[in-house]
Amino acid sequence: MIGRLVSGAAGEVRIRVCGASIERFLNVALQGEIGLWHTVRVDARTIETTLSLSDFYALRRLMGRTGCRVRVIGRRGLPFFVARLRRRWILTGGVCALALVVVLLTQFVWVLEIVAADGIPVSALRDVLRETGIYEGAWLGQIDTDDTRRAIQTKIPEVGVIAITRIGNAVRVEVDAAVPTPNRIDRAAPTGLVATRDGVISRTAVTGGQLLVQPGDAVEQGQLLVSSAVPNTTEWGEAHRAHGMGRVMAYTSRTVTLLCPLSWTESRATDRMTTRYALTLGDRRINLYLGSGIHTDTCDKITIEKTRLSIGSRLMLPISLVRETCRECDAVPVSGTAQEVGDAAAQTWLDRLAQTLDGTILDSRWTIEEEAGAVRVRVTASCEEQIACEMIDRTPLPEKEQEEPAE
């Protein structure tokens, strides 16, 4: 095996020998200490054999004594490869330059992918990454993931778990939002319940504190419904402070005025599809089509597929192919009568109210007035909802009654 490697490095030649004295040729080669291998007799006057490049040059000086002709039918080895490269110096230079570029590319960050949870500012996160040495074009040797994690958690308090992964010359930063600490009121703190809206009390279910209202009482927004100051009673003992808790339901009324046009334009999707391509190099975009892009006002939905170009699976290039596909839409004029538009607007508002209301809508009514190509809709909803909101209560404790001395 080692001999074959040495022979390949020195170069070897496959020759065809023709003549009437093949035996004389073999004797001359043997006397000249010329090594032959893989010798095959083709016919009575022809053989094929392999010898080293140095032995081939020595054999050429002895061929006059053999009476045979020699023809080279194959060459293999490093000398012949180098000779071919010399004739193709442009290709050789290109290969060397490409190899150098590949080596350099592996030493720098060319792809920075940031995956952030909702509520985390990506621009601020990118600034912190740049300050700690992680950006497109940065040297991989200067990256310290531990310092980067500490810097992100210090400067962006909304961040929770941070994962920094390196794959070849690509860096992926994944950030989850921190679990917010609930802003809870201490259960041992003296709290009361206040009204969040005007209304008439319908029913109560209080489990702590002193109830100050009864069903049928009219209350105003901000009024104290349950006090933390519990007076001296037989049931609760001496006067003390308590943590007011419970629900206070009240009949309320909500009113809103809506102004809606009688005619408008709707965007309706068509079967026409448009696909366009572009290349991105860092923050620079090169469109592969005429125009500046797909107009979002004429598209129902835009799908963007971004493919990062790479050499193999680990060497990512700073170039991406962008494929944009959209379904075109047409602007269609739509109009309606005052009654149709008003009823639809009122019902939409009531549906949204029902989704957010901590209670039920008991009754609703609305009026419609047409004016200058539009309708004014006044909607009133009668509700029963929970209006008690917990807050710190510093109501003074009632003074202890002085016992009269016995006569």
What is the pLDDT, as a whole number, of residue 353?
93
What digits encode the pLDDT tens for the residues 40-93? 988 888 999 998 888 888 888 888 777 888 888 988 888 877 777 766 667 767
**Tally of domains in the chain:** 5
Residue 185 lies in a domain: no
What is the pLDDT, as a whole number, of residue 171?
86
Same domain for 170 and 125, yes or no, is: yes
What digits encode the pLDDT tens for the residues 134-144? 888 888 888 88
Least confident among 22-26, 137-141, 173-177, 306-310 = 306-310
What is the pLDDT, as a whole number, of residue 156?
87
What is the pLDDT, as a whole number, of residue 80?
79
Residue 95 lies in a domain: no
What is the pLDDT, as a whole number, of residue 402?
47
What is the pLDDT, as a whole number, of residue 184?
55
Terminal CA-to-CA distance of the chain, rounded, Å? 128
Percentage of the chain beyond pLDDT 90 is: 22
The tokens describing 173, both together, are: 């930063």
Q: Is the pLDDT of residue 185 over 60?
A: no
Domain boundary among 332, 350, 373: 332
Residue 399 lies in a domain: no
Same domain for 55 and 78, yes or no, is: yes
Rounded-to-5 percentages of helix, strand, coil across the chain: 25, 45, 30
Spatial distance between the Cα atoms of 106 and 100, rounded to a whole number of angstroms: 10
Domain boundary among 119, 145, 177: 177
Percentage of the chain beyond pLDDT 70 is: 83
Residue 96 lies in a domain: no
Residue 120 lies in a domain: yes
Same domain for 240 and 219, yes or no, is: yes
What digits encode the pLDDT tens for the residues 362-406? 999 999 999 888 999 999 999 999 999 888 776 666 665 544 554
Same domain for 8 and 77, yes or no, is: yes
Residue with token string 């093949």: 22
DSSP line for 166-215 = EETTEEEEEEEEPPPPP-PPPTTS-EEEEESS-EEEEEEEEEESEE---T
Residue 310 lies in a domain: yes
DSSP line for 89-145 = HHHHHHHHHHHHHHHHHTTB--EEEEEE-TTS-HHHHHHHHHHTT-STT-BGGG--H
Distances (CA, A) of 13 to 29, 44, 174: 15, 22, 59
pLDDT band at 201 (very low <50, low <70, confident <90, very high): very high
What is the pLDDT, as a whole number, of residue 252?
95
What is the pLDDT, as a whole number, of residue 330?
83
Mean pLDDT of 292-320: 68
3 state DSSP class of 322: strand
Domain boundary among 123, 147, 177: 177
What is the pLDDT, as a whole number, of residue 232?
64
The tokens describing 115, both together, are: 């995956």
Distances (CA, A) of 298 to 100, 273, 303, 332: 47, 11, 14, 12
What digits encode the pLDDT tens for the residues 338-366? 999 999 999 999 999 999 999 999 999 99
Q: Is the pLDDT of residue 13 over 80?
A: yes
- From the list 364, 379, 371, the residue with the least C-alpha distance to 338 is 371
Q: Is the pLDDT of residue 226 over 80?
A: yes
Of the two residues 273 and 308, the one the predictor is more confident about is 273
CATH number of the domain residue 55 falls in: 3.30.70.260
What is the pLDDT, as a whole number, of residue 265?
85
Spatial distance between the Cα atoms of 254 and 161, rounded to a whole number of angstroms: 43
- From the list 385, 336, 344, 383, the residue with the least C-alpha distance to 366 is 344
Check if the beta carbon of residue 226 is closer than 8 Å to that of residue 392.
Answer: no
Residue with token string 């917990």: 390
Q: Is the pLDDT of residue 251 over 50?
A: yes
Chain-wide mean pLDDT for the chain? 82
Same domain for 328 and 376, yes or no, is: no
State how beta strands 374-386 and 159-167 pair.
Answer: unpaired
pLDDT band at 107 (very low <50, low <70, confident <90, very high): confident
Residue 350 lies in a domain: yes
The tokens describing 386, both together, are: 């929970």
Which stretches does DSSP call E strand in 91-158? 111-116
Distances (CA, A) of 130 to 9, 118, 149: 49, 21, 13
What sign for the dihedral angle of Cα 309, 311, 313, 316? negative
What digits encode the pLDDT tens for the residues 24-55? 888 888 888 888 888 898 888 899 999 888 88
Mean pLDDT of 103-126: 82
Q: Is the pLDDT of residue 114 over 70?
A: yes
Mean pLDDT of 246-274: 89
> Residue 354's domain spans which residues?
257-263+335-385
pLDDT band at 200 (very low <50, low <70, confident <90, very high): very high
Of all helices (H) and strands (E), which one includes residue 78? helix 78-87
Same domain for 12 and 76, yes or no, is: yes
The rounded Cα 320 to chain-centroid distance in angstroms is 16
Mean pLDDT of 280-292: 70
Residue 97 lies in a domain: no
What digits encode the pLDDT tens for the residues 155-164? 888 888 888 8
Same domain for 293 and 321, yes or no, is: yes
